[in-house]
Structure 1
Amino acid sequence: MSKYLLDKFLFTVDRDPGLVERYREDPAGTVAWWEETQANRILNCVGAESSTWLAFEEEERAALAAHDYVKLFELGAHPFLTLTLFIGMFERDHGPLEFQREYARRLAHFSLPYPDIAT
């Protein structure tokens, strides 16, 4: 499992409004496209520089494709990255702070110490 790759996906998608919409409308397709074309690109480097070994495990891929932020948190994805991305995707479908409250309610069964979020 790569917490780095989960966080990289959440970070890069959240910073591109077009990708946010693409991920909202076609999560499995967006995850597959991103893994194939973006996962091995090195952040903040020229496009020619990349690695070759990064890939999601099936559990990670399934959680991303299902928009399952609880599972992503269990897998070690950073909660700030999941919250900001999912607010951008779903807050419009809810009243003021309703999505944030639902996020907190769905994660309420976790107690300290939280899953390790270090990459």
Structure 2
Amino acid sequence: MSKYYVNKFLYQVDRNPDYLRRYAEDPKNFVATWEQSIGPRLNEVELSTVHSLTDAERKALVEHDFVALFEMGAHFFLNLTLFIGIYDEPFMKENGPLAFQREFAKKVGHWTGKDYPGVEC
């Protein structure tokens, strides 16, 4: 897993309202667009050809599978905050405040008592 590249995706998408909206509405196309034209950008001029997503990473991002991303070692906070941006409001309407955070905790709860996957790159 390219933890750096997955974490870069999580960080960039969470902090850009347009990216977040596009990712929530059409994850398959947005992940492809990000991987081709947004992710490789180092700055306004330079591009990197070193990084790419694995098939498993791409699948997890397209399916919004935050548990798989967690298990692959995606940074916990980046993973959580991105999906709060997508799911917090619908969960809150049905289950009250912090509902998505509790859902996230429940779905990764099988890691309780174990060492969490490392987030180092």
TM band (smaller chain): over 0.9
Gaps of 5+ in 1: none
Letter in 2 for 1:72: L
Superposed counterparts of 1:13-52, under 5 Å: 13-42=13-42, 45=43, 47-52=44-49
Question: In structure 1, what is the equivalent of residue 99 of structure 2?
Answer: 98
Alignment of 1:69-80 (within 5 A): 69-80=66-77
Question: Which consecutive aligned stretches of 4+ in structure 1 deviate over 2 angstroms post-superposition?
Answer: none
- TM-score scaled by length of structure 1: 0.94
Q: CA RMSD in A?
A: 0.9
How many residues align? The count is: 116
Q: Percent identity, please.
A: 47
Q: Structure 2: state its 5+ residue gaps.
A: none
